[in-house]
């Protein structure tokens, strides 16, 4: 049993907190103390999540050995800056977010024995209210190593925190490919589900297929020009598989739009548009999604 700190009491943060609390001591770092206990609803019913809330500003001395940061792409730099001073010299830092973020600044700030991992998850999780999360789908979760230290311990880490804890979890050997594969799934699902306010499964309707194809075609062309070996047919297969396995879930972007929150569109379609400009690939469909969702902020 080890100590784990989780940053982000959103749907994914709380679903990880619950899974990890079966074997480890879990604390969730929050800005203010929650008013109620955190709850999770799964097919077996509703349970209290066995995790302790921690407010960093209230703690005198804290050494964090394992930290899972599950926040929005645009919150990542601040979340990392907040926990960095508390990380132990051999800390394992796990980040999980949608879209692409530049990790070079994070990597520059880590000490030689601090490991950085990326978690790509397609778990369907829905926040019912501030303290209550519902598991709505069973997508795969992948762990990838972002620095040398992480590479050297990934199998050991996977055994402690993933195997037998997070169902359908795997190690992925190619970090860059892993992040692109996740990006492609989010490009196919998030913007359309947000604009039409439909659960993921409804995107399988034929009326959406031409747009999904065009969005992924642009993104795969950009990826291929950048030297990333993805194929359009694989990207479509992955996206439709996630739609099926999380069919009842409202994507994180659909939920953000519904609640009037900022979305991650800049890190998703915005990334493809920006890379397309650099690589001379035209990306009108992604640009249109970017514009439509920026207007919702």
- Out of 21, 75, 186, 221, the residue judged to bind ligand KPL by CB under 6 A: 186
- Closest approach, Cβ 99 to ligand KPL, in A, equals 9
166 binds ligand KPL (CB under 6 A): no
- Using CA atoms, how far residue 198 sits from 125, 194, 195, in Å, is 15, 7, 8
Under the binding rule (CB under 6 A), the answer on residue 238 touching ligand KPL is: no
**Shortest distance in whole angstroms from residue 258 CB to ligand KPL:** 12
Among residues 242, 257, 289, 290, the one that binds ligand KPL under rule CB under 6 A: 242
Applying the rule CB under 6 A, the residues between 252 and 291 that interact with ligand KPL are 252
Cβ 249 to ligand KPL shortest distance, Å: 5
Q: Nearer to ligand KPL by C-beta: 46 or 244?
A: 244
* Backbone angles phi and psi of 112, in degrees to 5: -55, -35
Burial of residue 213 (CB within 10 Å: 0-12, 13-18, 19+) is middle
13/10 Cα distance (integer angstroms): 5
Binding of residue 96 to ligand KPL (CB under 6 A): no
- The site for ligand KPL, by CB under 6 A, has a size of 14
Q: Interface with ligand KPL by CB under 6 A: which range of 39-47, 165-173, 244-252, 275-283?
A: 244-252
Q: Candidates 64-72, 154-162, 243-251, 284-292 — which segment interacts with ligand KPL by CB under 6 A?
A: 243-251
Helix axes 269-279, 206-225, angle to 10 degrees: 40
Residue selected from 122, 135, 150, 192 as contacting ligand KPL according to rule CB under 6 A: 122
The 10 Å Cβ neighbour count of residue 64 is 22
Considering only residues 26-65, where is the footprint of ligand KPL by CB under 6 A? none
CA 23 vs. chain centroid, Å, equals 22
Instruction: Report if residue 169 touches ligand KPL, rule: CB under 6 A.
Output: no
**Binding track, positions 134-153, relative to ligand KPL; x by CB under 6 A:** -----x--------------
- Look at the alpha carbons of 140, 143, 159, 131 in this order and tell me if their dihedral is positive or negative: negative
181 binds ligand KPL (CB under 6 A): no
Minimum distance of ligand KPL from residue 198's CB (angstroms):
12
Closest approach, Cβ 25 to ligand KPL, in A, equals: 27
From the CB of residue 58, how many other CB atoms can be counted at a distance below 10 Å? 10
The tokens describing 15, both together, are: 């679903």
| Of the residues 238, 251, 275, 286, which one makes contact with ligand KPL according to CB under 6 A | 251
Q: Indicate which single residue of 75, 190, 263, 275 sits in contact with ligand KPL (rule: CB under 6 A).
A: 190
> Residues 99, 124, 144, 270: which binds ligand KPL (CB under 6 A)?
124
The residue ranges that bind ligand KPL (CB under 6 A) are 98, 122, 124, 139, 185-186, 189-190, 200, 242, 246, 249, 251-252
């Amino acid at each position: 049993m080890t100590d784990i700190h989780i940053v982000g009491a959103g749907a994914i943060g709380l679903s990880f907190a619950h899974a990890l609390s079966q074997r480890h001591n879990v604390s969730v770092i929050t800005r203010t103390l929650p008013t109620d206990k955190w709850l999770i609803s799964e097919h077996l019913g509703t349970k209290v999540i066995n995790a302790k809330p921690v407010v960093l500003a209230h703690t005198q001395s804290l050494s964090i050995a394992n930290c899972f940061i599950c926040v929005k792409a645009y919150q990542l730099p601040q979340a990392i800056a907040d926990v960095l001073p508390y990380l132990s010299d051999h800390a394992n830092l796990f980040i999980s977010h949608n879209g692409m973020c530049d990790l070079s600044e994070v990597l520059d700030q880590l000490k030689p024995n601090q490991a950085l991992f990326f978690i790509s998850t397609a778990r369907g999780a829905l926040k019912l209210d501030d303290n209550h999360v519902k598991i709505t789908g069973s997508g795969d979760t992948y762990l990838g190593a972002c620095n040398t230290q992480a590479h050297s311990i990934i199998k050991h880490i996977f055994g402690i925190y993933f195997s037998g804890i997070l169902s359908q979890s795997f190690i992925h050997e190619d970090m860059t490919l892993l992040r692109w594969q996740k990006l492609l799934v989010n490009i196919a699902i998030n913007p359309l589900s947000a604009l039409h306010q439909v659960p993921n499964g409804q995107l399988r309707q034929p009326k959406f297929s031409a747009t999904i194809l065009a969005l992924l075609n642009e993104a795969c062309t950009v990826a291929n020009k950048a030297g990333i070996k993805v194929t359009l047919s694989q990207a479509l297969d992955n996206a439709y598989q996630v739609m099926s396995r999380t069919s009842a879930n409202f994507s994180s972007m659909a939920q953000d739009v519904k609640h009037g929150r900022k979305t991650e569109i800049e890190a998703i379609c915005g990334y493809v548009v920006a890379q397309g400009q650099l690589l001379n690939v035209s990306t009108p469909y992604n640009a249109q999604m970017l514009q439509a969702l920026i207007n919702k902020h």
